[in-house]
């Protein structure tokens, strides 16, 4: 799909009352998904073990207990308890509950989260 066609298709999928910020965000996601797909096709992937190791070095899991709200709210959900941290090109999605932090997913940042959830 050519760039203009992709933008037109995106605009057709968005609600009529969406903001310019919404459009820019979805364009960014569209571009990130395309980059991710190109990376996979070219064999530029990072093994899960390497990402996990980098995650543990940068943010030990135990630190989520003390600093659980440092991640941003996941835009696709808009719920204050569902947050995410970025690790290299990946998204660590987690939910903060009164008694614990639950890791929900660890996915490549270029993945369309909404589509991924629907497929899963």
pLDDT digits (tens, 9 = 90+) for 63-87: 666 667 778 888 887 888 888 888 7
- Of 3.20.20.70, 3.30.2310.20, 3.30.160.250, 3.30.565.10, the CATH number of 46-120 is 3.30.2310.20
**Of residues 59 and 108, which shows the higher confidence score?**
108
Q: What is the pLDDT of residue 18?
A: 86
Q: Is the pLDDT of residue 94 over 80?
A: yes
* Domain residue ranges in the chain: 1-45, 46-120
3-state SS of the chain is CCHHHHHHHHHHHCCCCCCHHHHHHHHHHHHHHHHHHHHHHCCCCCCHHHHHHHHHHHCCCCHHHHCHHHCEECCCCCCCCEEEEEECCEEEEEEECCCCEEEEEEEECCCCHHHHHHHC
Q: What is the pLDDT of residue 63?
A: 60
């Amino acid at each position: 799909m050519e760039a203009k066609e992709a933008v037109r298709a995106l605009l057709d999928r968005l609600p009529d009352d969406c903001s310019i910020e919404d459009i820019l965000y979805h364009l960014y996601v569209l571009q990130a998904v395309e980059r991710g797909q190109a990376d996979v096709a070219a064999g530029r992937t990072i093994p899960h073990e390497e990402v996990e190791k980098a995650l543990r070095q940068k943010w030990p899991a135990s630190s989520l207990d003390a600093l659980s709200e440092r991640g941003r709210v996941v835009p696709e959900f808009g719920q204050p308890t569902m947050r995410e941290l970025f690790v290299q090109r990946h998204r660590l999605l987690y939910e903060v509950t009164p008694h614990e932090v639950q890791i929900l997913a660890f996915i490549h940042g270029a993945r369309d989260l909404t589509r991924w959830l629907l497929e899963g």
